[in-house]
Amino acid sequence: MNWIEKAQHRFGREFDEFLLHSAKVLRIAQARPDGADRQRLRSLAGFYLDQPYAARPARFFSFPRNPPKAEIVEQRPFCDGTVRTYAFPSGYKVRNPAIREEYLREKENRKAYLVHWSHGDGKRNTILCSHGYSLGDPGQAQRMFRVHRLYDLGLDVALFITPFHWKRASSPLQRFSPPFPFRDPVLGLEGFGQAMYDLCSSFLLLEKMGASRIGLIGASLGGYLASLFASLTRKPDLVTLIVPFLDFKSLRVPAGPFSPVEKGDKAGAELQEEIEALWSIHSPFSHACKLPPERCLLIASTGDRLCPFEDVTRLYEHWGQPNHFFLRGGHALYFPRRGRGEAWYGFLKEHDFI
């Protein structure tokens, strides 16, 4: 790298460090768990660890067979077509009976949403987008995924709303800081189960509406969902991960109030082992990708500190060295600025998607 490229790379990394420092400051006010909190978590975690999920993690997940009964809750013109928001009941059944009532208490999360930018003539190749943490607002996603550009290229575009995000959040505060997936490892595991179920429902709904081929793209947390989904089903025709989050053990901001473990805290260390066992059930590294490497694309930044690049290189090997494009800089600031888009559009063109 020349001096300009080195400066860009360092600037991107340092900006990530600023974001991480800000996130850590926000967590100072969080209460530390007492003995009752720890015992409750261990009791809840025991349900999953006593099942065969640790040895055969795919058995935890369930999928619908039929498309959901959806209703249009919002509609407005978009270019020469229409953008519609569909709502449908989440058919996911919480696995752990001890947490079922608590999980279902969040009534807004019982309903799933799919936003669809459509030309209205059916049989279009479609890109289904999976957004990042706290970024479920369709306006944000429309900018992030360059929906106008994709639409102009002849594609229909859809946005999957992650559990506890946007309209699935119970309050404005929850929209800003959703409890899924970082606040509680048990809620997180059930949330991933629900996300996979509802994401499959979204595929079935798009197929029912006439979508031809459906490609899946996920950014940051959405990359985690997309990588997990592509490891559990063969629904996507293509999958693209952009600066994906891939491993809870790599989080530099603690995942919930139960970590990090203080030195000499034996009970805390045992609890952390159980938490990591829960994480392994939904980890993309616990499953083999069901798509061939040539139908997968990884786009990442070599200096990413929020979603460490080291995890991307692990997934690159785990997935059999798929298509990839690695940029300079960090998670939010990367260089060249048009690199992500050029790599993605080239990938779509290579597979006759556009």
Give the tens place of pLDDT for each residue, 61-81.
Answer: 999 999 999 999 999 999 999
Q: Is residue 115 part of a domain?
A: yes
Q: Is residue 252 part of a domain?
A: yes
Which residues span the domain enclosing 266?
Answer: 35-284+303-311
Q: Is residue 332 part of a domain?
A: no
Q: Is residue 333 part of a domain?
A: no
In this model, does residue 18 exceed pLDDT 80?
no
Provide the number of structural domains found in the chain.
Answer: 1
Give the tens place of pLDDT for each residue, 241-300.
Answer: 999 999 998 886 544 544 555 666 777 788 889 999 999 999 999 999 999 999 999 999
Q: Is residue 132 part of a domain?
A: yes
Q: Is residue 143 part of a domain?
A: yes
Q: Is residue 22 part of a domain?
A: no
CB-based contact 215:127 (threshold 8 Å): yes
Rounded mean pLDDT, 317-329: 97
In this model, does residue 146 exceed pLDDT 70?
yes
Q: Give me the CATH number covering residue 165.
A: 3.40.50.1820
Two tokens, residue 218: 């996920």
In this model, does residue 24 exceed pLDDT 60?
no
pLDDT at 11 (0 to 100)? 64
How much of the chain exceeds pLDDT 70, in percent?
90
Predicted TM-score (pTM) of this structure:
0.93
Q: Is residue 20 part of a domain?
A: no
Give the tens place of pLDDT for each residue, 133-144.
Answer: 999 999 999 999
